[in-house]
Amino acid sequence: MEIIVIISLLIIVILVGILVFLILKMKDLLEVERNYSIMTKNYSTVTILQEIMSILGAKIPSGEKLIRINDILINRFNISYSTIVESTENGNIVKTSNIPKELFEQIVNLDKTKGFLEAMKQNVPKYITGIKTLEYATASERDVRSVLMFPLYREEEYRGYWILEDIRSNAFDNVEKVQLSIIRDNITLVLQNNDYALMLENKTSELEMANKKLEEMANRDGLTGAFNKAFMHKVLESVFNGNRRQNSLAIMDIDHFKNYNDQNGHMEGDNLLKGLSKLLTESLRDTDMLFRFGGEEFVILFADTAKEDAIMVAERIRQKVADYVFPFEEKQPGGNLTISVGVAFAPQDAVEKQKLLEIADERLYKAKTGGRNKVVFE
């Protein structure tokens, strides 16, 4: 009998030992499985981050980057809904979401609701799971059971939020929350880069405008505001470069300008040049260009203008100057301030810049010696 008892006890001990061994082995297996699951998730996070970094480095607009990142997260984490909202001076804006647009209004200002406001202020994620009541506005409409909301901050500045919604209860475990938190930083980086891109775009635009102003200033005569002689030669070279198109130019000179300077002083002479330049500019067509040739001489380019039209415009300008009342013009011979004009035409007279200038200058001389206050074109 004692032997039977001893054998029974031995069997019990052996069975208990086997059971303990199996339990310990099962625990080890579960630990291995858990570690493997974590390792797999970590590897998945690294892979996702690599994809995100690739998108961050791509030369595409920031808005497109956010859309692509959001699509990756929805697919990789099997999330029902993912929405990125940016906070701006004009209110919150949905940057990307797979929620139908007609439902944006239900989610766009969630950071201002009581359930999320404190979490957003403290820059900590907010997690609600097992939703069964109206504690979450869109729970019933989209059958949402879990909500994970990340504030988006740049340094200490609130930039908006990223909200993940799922139809499962307890949809996000601790590992996934850590993974998503890491990814959250990359989303903030995109918003930050968008700021830098806009700032760079604005600065580039300002620089281009400044360069344009500097370039224009370099091409202008400092006294009269007309284009200067150096720029004139560049323009005329490009227009009259041997082609056979119809273009015309005129050289004009103030009649008795020396007398005006002698009577009124060089300061008033400069004022006259500025006033005349303004009057000529206002008299030109949009396609015409005014240059100060030197002293009291001006050149007008009539681009893409036939001979008859150039003569008509030149005569109209001469008459307008003659009719205009300039300061101290009563001291001029004849009591009036006038101009003389010589006009040359391409291709009739020549097709080269220098030759046309010479012809226009010869005709200007004819106008001066022929009585002044006239246009000579032959």
- Catalytic positions are 296
Torsion of CA 93, 94, 95, 96, to 10 degrees: 180
CB 129 within 8 A of CB 90: no
CA dist 289 and 300 (Å) reads 6
- β-sheet bridge partners, residue 81: 165
- Whole-angstrom CA distances from 35 to 39, 48, 179, 237 are 6, 19, 15, 78
Q: Which two tokens stand for residue 342?
A: 């010589």
